[in-house]
């Protein structure tokens, strides 16, 4: 278990409208006219193909109701949510009152933790951006299994599986799964204020999620890393507000055989950011 957590937790150190061009082809999705289009994007295919990873970058143009990806089959494949679950878990903590706001102090108990950067007191917002697993495990224990189950059901976040023995770690080990499509669906409902949370929780959580803000755009995002059966799997999910335009994304990757862990970890973010720039979003 320690080995599994070690790889999962390494991520904290690395995490501190578009016209369709002729190289893109629409996938035959069997969807109705009103359903979003699925566009296989050759630029995204080349970006992932030439990187030491396997996986999918999924981008949703909210205005055009159009998905872009290099691999829609991978985008429909479920994976452990890992630290991307800190988004709904933050909503739960705010709703049940285990934290008051993003400045709530999370005390370190003095015990050794997997990462040195976690061995200190930190505020809730820092815990989110440092992906402090023990911090969020403690918040889940304070909420209790019953409230965790009730809120996971209400938020409709993928397919989370846990019981009384795993409700404080089901997002990093076990049978819980979420797909890139489901990640984006959740983020859309979050943005549209369709989740059963208070306006106050919504405001605090969206403030916490800001990863980068410029004069042109606001990027809200979260990384995730799991190690099921000794195989790394990484996430980078979020959305970009650019003027009156909105774009959602969910990237999920495995490293190709022989790729060093330290090389793989930053690629989740780097490849996604390159994709967003190539699409003219950033």
21, pLDDT greater than 60:
no
Percent of the chain predicted with pLDDT > 90: 86
58, pLDDT greater than 60:
yes
Contact between residue 222 and residue 83 where contact means Cβ atoms under 8 Å apart? yes
Q: Give pLDDT, residue 265.
A: 96
> CA 18 to CA 135: how far, in whole Å?
40
Residues 46-64 have a mean pLDDT of: 98
Task: Please provide the average confidence, as pLDDT, over all residues in the chain.
Answer: 91
Residues 183-195 have a mean pLDDT of: 99
Contact between residue 155 and residue 88 where contact means Cβ atoms under 8 Å apart? yes
Q: Are strands 210-213 and 218-226 parallel, antiparallel or unpaired?
A: antiparallel
> CA 87 to CA 209: how far, in whole Å?
8
Tell me which residue of 231, 252, 116 sits closest to 180, measured CA to CA.
252
* Rounded (to 5) percent helix, strand, coil in the chain: 40, 20, 40
> CA 148 to CA 167: how far, in whole Å?
7
In the chain, which ranges are continuous DSSP H helix?
2-9, 11-15, 42-49, 72-75, 86-96, 124-129, 133-143, 145-155, 180-191, 199-208, 261-264, 267-278
129, pLDDT greater than 80:
yes
Confidence of residue 32 (pLDDT cuts 50, 70, 90): very low
Statement: 2-278 belongs to CATH 3.40.50.2300: no
| Confidence (pTM) | 0.89
One of 83, 131, 140, 176 is an active-site residue; which one? 83
Confidence of residue 138 (pLDDT cuts 50, 70, 90): very high
Q: Token pair for residue 239?
A: 């959305």
- Which of 4-13, 57-66, 147-156, 231-240 is the least confident region? 4-13
pLDDT in tens, 221-256: 999 999 988 899 999 999 999 999 999 999 999 999
Q: Token pair for residue 147?
A: 């409230």
DSSP-assigned beta bridge partners for residue 58:
69, 250
pLDDT in tens, 73-114: 999 999 999 999 999 999 999 999 999 999 999 999 999 998
> CA 170 to CA 144: how far, in whole Å?
13
Phi, psi of 21, deg, nearest 5:
-80, 170
Of all helices (H) and strands (E), which one includes residue 115?
A: none
29 versus 52: the higher-pLDDT residue is 52
Spatial CB neighbours of 82, under 8 Å, sequence gap ≥ 6: 8, 11, 171, 172, 224, 225, 226, 233, 234, 235
Q: Give me the helix-helix angle, 199-208 and 180-191, nearest 10°.
A: 120
Confidence of residue 33 (pLDDT cuts 50, 70, 90): low
Let me know if 90 is a catalytic residue: no
Contact between residue 251 and residue 272 where contact means Cβ atoms under 8 Å apart? yes
Check the CA dihedral 114-119-125-129 and report its sign. negative
């Amino acid at each position: 278990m320690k080995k599994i957590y070690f790889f999962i937790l390494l991520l904290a150190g690395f995490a501190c409208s578009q016209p369709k061009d002729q190289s893109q082809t629409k996938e035959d999705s069997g969807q109705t006219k009103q359903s979003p289009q699925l566009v296989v994007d050759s630029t995204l295919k080349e970006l992932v193909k030439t990187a030491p990873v396997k996986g999918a970058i999924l981008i949703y143009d909210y205005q055009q109701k159009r998905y872009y990806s290099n691999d829609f089959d991978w985008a429909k494949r479920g994976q452990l949510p890992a630290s991307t679950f800190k988004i709904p878990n933050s909503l739960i903590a705010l709703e049940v009152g285990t934290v008051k706001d993003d400045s709530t102090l999370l005390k370190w108990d003095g015990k050794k933790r997997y990462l040195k950067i976690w061995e200190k007191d930190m505020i809730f917002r820092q815990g989110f951006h440092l992906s402090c697993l023990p911090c969020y495990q403690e918040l889940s224990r304070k909420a209790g299994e019953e409230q965790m189950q009730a809120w996971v059901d209400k938020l409709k976040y993928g397919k989370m599986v846990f019981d009384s023995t795993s409700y404080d770690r089901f997002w990093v080990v076990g049978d819980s799964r979420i797909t890139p499509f489901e990640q984006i669906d959740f983020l859309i409902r979050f943005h549209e204020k369709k989740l059963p949370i208070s306006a106050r929780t919504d405001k605090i959580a969206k403030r916490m999620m800001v990863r980068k803000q410029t004069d042109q755009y606001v990027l809200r995002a979260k990384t995730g890393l799991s190690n099921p059966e000794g195989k790394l799997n990484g996430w980078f999910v979020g959305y970009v507000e650019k003027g009156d335009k909105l774009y959602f994304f969910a990237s999920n990757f495995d490293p190709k055989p022989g790729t060093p862990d330290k090389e793989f970890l930053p690629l989740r973010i780097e490849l996604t950011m390159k994709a967003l720039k190539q699409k003219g979003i950033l």
